[in-house]
Amino acid sequence: VSKLAPQAREYAAPGQGAIPPSKKRYIPTSGTYPLGFSAASAHVGVKPSNTRFDDVALIASEVPCSAAAVFTTNKFQAAPVTVSRNMLNRRRGEGIRAVVVNSGCANAVTGRGGIEDAISMGHETDQCFVNDSNGKDDGQGSRSIVMSTGVIGQRLPIKKITSKLGTVYGNLGETHHHWLSAARAICTTDTFPKLISRTFTLPGSQEEYRIAGMTKGAGMIHPNMA
Amino acid sequence: TLLGILCTDAPVGAAPLQQSLTDAITKSFNSISIDGDTSTNDTVVILANGAAGGKPITSTSSDEFRAFQETLTAFAIDLAKLVVRDGEGATKFVTIKVTNAKTYEDAKRVANSIARSPLVKTALYGKDANWGRILCATGYAEGVESVVPEETSVSFVPADGSEELKLLVRGEPEQVDESRAAEILAEEDLEIVVRLSEKFDEEAVVWTCDFSHEYVTINGDYRT
């Protein structure tokens, strides 16, 4: 790489670079997060060059919840897109417990093996919940949504990932720090984690509700999801 | 790749949740462009666990659903804008507003055409008020019926909300105040307004960024 582009820098590991001063104002220092959800991250080293930074995130609900999704309409859909869409269709968007995300490898254009890896990532995430009070298998298969982001055309180091899912599950927490760590772990070439939260009310209800969201993306961005 | 994970403790059933997300995406994440490339992995999910209690939203015809949909759309727009703020190598945050189109789809196609134009994006990086490139990208937008060259106007709206700088009015170029154009383009935020025809009133907004040397550096390095 250095011979081809001596000016090139390494951009691959999440959180690797210092956050540019002009971007710091977009990173929240606190948040109001939805009840019953928790977030976490852990270092796996999906990219071998990433020796320090968290690259797997988990967002989980204490109770089974409704879920909906939109996916890329690119005809070459990555394995986690296919697996997650099929899972949500099978379950009709009900009974979901978690979203598990890795950065560093997109698990895209990886053939049947990639599909098996994505299924395994979801299944092993489910296993983290089997011993909690809402973790009993309902007989409808996986209840974890799987996402991957990073380079295309490489197989996931699935054993490395699944071996750390217990760690990331153990890191789950409800604080701003937990949410921000998860937002940072899904980054690739992003220069800052993207996380916002707010409260809202609905007509005819006394309740106050919360919504939180994290996103990542910096390049290969012209979404056309459905 | 774009990934998004949204969570709420509102009690929303799966079917209305899907409807509200699908609607919200059109005017948020499907209305941004960094480099014009659609990824193999783009995914946005939303989870609703109902932990805050209250009456469940089970249909798409209630006031509660409409209120939730509005909240979700505004929230998704704010999240989507953060992605544009972090566009690879971006130095500018650009709002492209296309008005006076026959349909929303027409306006969106024109806005996307401008947002994807490398020459528009490099002009923005170079702080050049190059309305010719904007007009060119407007003119080749595919499948658009409502572009009428002699009725088309292009303006820059400063980030501070002061009076817009008119570059082209009804197909005729304006005498541009270059020093004011330079002031407007020196700011990080910029809004480009393109008015297509006085006969129509639909509009669309797309958010994008400029193209810089840094974009090439990053993507010349990033390996599959």
Lowest mean pLDDT among A150-154, B143-147, B159-163: B159-163
A 166-185 near B (Cβ less than 8 A): none
Q: Would you state the pLDDT for residue B223?
A: 66
pLDDT at A141: 87
Contact B1 A153 (CB under 8 A): no
**Does B58 participate in catalysis according to the annotation?**
no
pLDDT, tens digit (0-9, with 9 covering 90-100), for B16-36: 999 999 999 999 999 999 999
Report the percentage of chain A scoring pLDDT > 70: 92
State the nearest Cα–Cα gap between A124 and chain B, in angstroms: 20
Give tens-digit pLDDT for A169-205: 999 999 999 999 999 999 999 999 999 999 999 998 8
Contact A68 B5 (CB under 8 A): no
Quick one: three-class SS letters along chain A?
CCCCCCCCCCCCCCCCCCCCHHHHHHCCCCCCCCCCEEEEEECCCCCCCCCCCCCEEEEEEEEEEEEEEEEECCCCCCHHHHHHHHHHHHHCCCCEEEEEEEEEECCCCCHHHHHHHHHHHHHHHHHCCCCCCCCCCCCCCCCEEEEEEEECCCCCCHHHHHHCHHHHHHCCECCHHHHHHHHHHCCCCCCCCEEEEEEECCCCCCCCEEEEEEEECCCCCCCCEC
